């Protein structure tokens, strides 16, 4: 995903607003003494909470309209004037699959700006995505074997990703594996295996342009 300088700055600013909203909690609309500028960009957990709240239909994907509405509401709560067209263009740039929606990984890659000078977290996330994409056929076969009618559980995803980590010489980070596992939208404790693997198509689309 390639963002312009202006889009990168906007993503950082919006991430800071998301962080300030959660840190203020119930006092968000009551206290105006703390401005958003004193807060840093949102953590992965904060971004996950925002993503889940913005995904109003609970399908595991945040439509670009849902994302725009949530960010617009956030800006208005801060009495900030942000061009909606700029937000729309940022979200379209984040939508690497071109599906008109953002999965959690696309959202995280756009708004995880905790340390804009350090690419460590992005590198780890990219490594995780690439390794899952690279081994997607093997994982698909494994999920068909251990799953039930095409569905897999959280523990099975954990086991599969940690097993993948072993055969890739520990290139994946345990904490990030757990973050991805926790971000999956489970229905009655399971998820469709192919839908889970489809979430990593963002790497597939990027590789085509290399």
Which structural domain range is residue 79 located in? 5-111
Are 17 and 93 in a shared domain? yes
Tokens matching residue 146: 């251990």
Are 148 and 78 in a shared domain? no
Q: What is the pLDDT of residues 139-180, one digit of tens each?
A: 888 898 899 999 999 899 888 888 887 777 666 667 667 767
Q: How far apart are alpha carbons 46 and 44 in whole angstroms?
A: 5
Are 61 and 133 in a shared domain? no
Q: What is the pLDDT of residues 83-121, one digit of tens each?
A: 889 999 999 998 877 888 887 778 887 888 765 444 445
Are 13 and 99 in a shared domain? yes
Q: Which of 96, 101, 89, 103 is nearest to 63 (CA)?
A: 101
Are 9 and 107 in a shared domain? yes
Check: CB of residue 78 under 8 Å from CB of residue 32.
no
Predicted TM-score of the model (pTM):
0.57
Q: How far apart are alpha carbons 210 and 208 in whole angstroms?
A: 6
Are 83 and 100 in a shared domain? yes
Are 94 and 9 in a shared domain? yes
Number of structural domains in the chain:
2
């Amino acid at each position: 995903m390639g963002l312009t300088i202006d889009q990168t700055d906007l993503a950082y600013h919006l991430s800071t607003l998301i962080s300030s909203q959660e840190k203020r909690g119930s006092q968000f609309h009551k206290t105006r003494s703390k401005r958003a500028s004193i807060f840093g960009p949102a953590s992965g957990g904060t971004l996950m909470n925002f993503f889940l709240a913005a995904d109003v239909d609970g399908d595991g994907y945040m439509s670009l309209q849902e994302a725009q509405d949530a960010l617009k509401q956030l800006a208005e709560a801060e009495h900030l004037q942000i061009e909606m067209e700029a937000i729309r263009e940022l979200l379209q740039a984040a939508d690497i699959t071109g599906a008109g929606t953002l999965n959690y990984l696309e959202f995280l890659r756009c708004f995880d700006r905790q340390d804009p000078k350090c690419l460590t977290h992005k590198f780890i996330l990219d490594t995780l995505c690439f390794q899952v994409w690279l081994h997607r056929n093997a994982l698909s076969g494994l999920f068909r074997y251990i799953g039930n009618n095409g569905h897999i559980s959280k523990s099975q995803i954990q086991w599969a990703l940690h097993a993948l980590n072993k055969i890739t010489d520990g290139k994946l980070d345990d904490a990030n594996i757990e973050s991805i596992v926790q971000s999956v939208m489970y229905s009655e404790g399971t998820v469709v295996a192919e839908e889970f693997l489809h979430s990593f198509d963002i790497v597939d689309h990027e590789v085509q342009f290399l």
